[in-house]
Structure 1
């Protein structure tokens, strides 16, 4: 699926379909029915949805081999995969607060060995589209499972959460409840032998 330039008619058709109420899936499939190649249809719809041509072509590279395995009649499966990977979602210009939070989230990512490929795809889309609170929550869930003792990760996550206005308890490893932090307390009356009642401490008179 090599990247191809988008001819003006395809770009205009994609924009018109979206304006008429089609979602990106329907617009893409409509362009295919009209004779566009998958690459041209993808870039045309992506640009019509708000991305620049350069961004659309660059993101298309990850789908280079997709249409080599998709059979005729399975085009909907292909576009569904592109949608799930966030291909058609435009990048967002971040404000100063979001940029600061992004720096901390990236620091958290640098502190760990790596993110599994599946979650990494969704995480990358959330970061570039400005859904930083969602990205923070996704990383937090991963952290509890994979890096609960990584202090650098949690410190960066804490700074990101504070910048995003999240509650402090959403940016740290699971806390240990006080009654789980040590052995059970021994009740005072269990520390020695049973007391002897006064009337049992001497023989009867």
Structure 2
């Protein structure tokens, strides 16, 4: 376990860590659970995330460990969900409300946004949300207003010195303001 935590702590991608561990066993599922444990994901939660994957295990053989890791990462198995401070949680909640006001987001994009929100990558989630098209059944005025509030709070919440995130949020806020102005007409 220490070796796995060390590998993860060194910056080695989780997919690579899983592939290396799985290559030494014929039980890729067990390897996935060990990686989840090393990430701090509770066993029950990891088991829940793996539900529905039973049919996968027999379909892969030696040499497929990286592919298995990519698939498991793709379903969010290795996502470490974070609890944010009060302001961060408020921002995350606003972004979820905006998703509801959109009238529906395509599943792939929606899952990606939710994964970003769950793992605390709020600037990334915000940047994606401002590119979402509000559907006909959505409420564009509410969508852009809620998203605008989230962006304002997000800009103030970001740690100083994170210029990349600040730039991403600034550009996204500008787009959000333009869209809100167009919607108000």
Which structure has more helix as a fraction of its residues? 2
Residues 111, 68 of structure 1: CA spacing in aligned structure 2 closer, same or farther, 3 A cutoff?
A: farther
The CA distance in 2 between the partners of 1:20 and 1:104, in whole Å, is 34
Residue aligned with 1:90, SS: coil
TM-score, length of structure 1 as denominator length: 0.66
Is there any run of 5+ residues in structure 1 with no aligned partner, and where?
A: 1-10, 182-205
Residues 45, 113 of structure 1: CA spacing in aligned structure 2 closer, same or farther, 3 A cutoff?
A: same
Residues 115, 67 of structure 1: CA spacing in aligned structure 2 closer, same or farther, 3 A cutoff?
A: farther
Report the Cα offset of residue 164 of structure 1: 0.6
The CA distance in 2 between the partners of 1:77 and 1:109, in whole Å, is 31
User: What RMSD in Å do the two structures reach over aligned CA positions?
Assistant: 2.9
The CA distance in 2 between the partners of 1:133 and 1:62, in whole Å, is 31
Residues 97, 21 of structure 1: CA spacing in aligned structure 2 closer, same or farther, 3 A cutoff?
A: closer
Aligned residues: 166
Is there any run of 5+ residues in structure 2 with no aligned partner, and where?
A: 156-168
Q: Which has the larger radius of gyration?
A: 1
The CA distance in 1 between the partners of 2:35 and 2:92, in whole Å, is 28
* Maintained 8 Å contact 1:161/1:170: no
TM-score, length of structure 2 as denominator length: 0.72
The CA distance in 1 between the partners of 2:10 and 2:78, in whole Å, is 17
- 1:171 is matched with 176
- 1:90 is matched with 80
Alignment of 1:14 with 2:4, yes or no, is yes
